[in-house]
C-alpha cells in the first residue's frame, strides 16, 4: 500500500464505522446497527480486508 493509502485508512475506517452505526437500514438486510468488530472482526486493518 502506498504512503497516501496508509494515511487514508483511518479516515475510511471512521466513515465505515459511521455508516454501520447510523445507516444500518441501507447497509444490512436486517437493518440492525453493528460495531466495527461485528463487520470486520477484531483488530482487522481495512487493507487486509480489501485487495488493492
Q: What pTM was computed for the model?
A: 0.58
Cell of 34: 453493528
Q: What is the CA radius of gyration of the chain?
A: 12
Q: How far apart are CA 32 and CA 26, in angstroms?
A: 10
Residue with more model confidence, 32 or 35: 32
Alpha carbon of residue 37 to chain centroid = 9
Flag whether pLDDT at 36 surpasses 60. Answer: yes
pLDDT at residue 5, rounded to an integer? 83
Flag whether pLDDT at 51 surpasses 70. Answer: no
Task: Render pLDDT for 3-26 as a digit per residue (tens, 0 to 9).
Answer: 988 898 889 888 888 888 888 899
* DSSP code for 31: -
Amino acid at each position: 500500500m502506498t504512503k497516501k493509502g496508509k494515511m487514508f485508512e483511518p479516515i475510511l475506517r471512521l466513515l465505515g464505522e459511521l455508516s454501520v452505526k447510523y445507516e444500518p437500514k441501507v447497509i444490512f438486510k436486517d437493518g440492525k446497527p453493528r460495531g466495527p468488530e461485528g463487520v470486520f472482526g477484531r483488530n482487522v486493518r481495512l487493507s487486509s480486508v480489501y485487495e488493492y
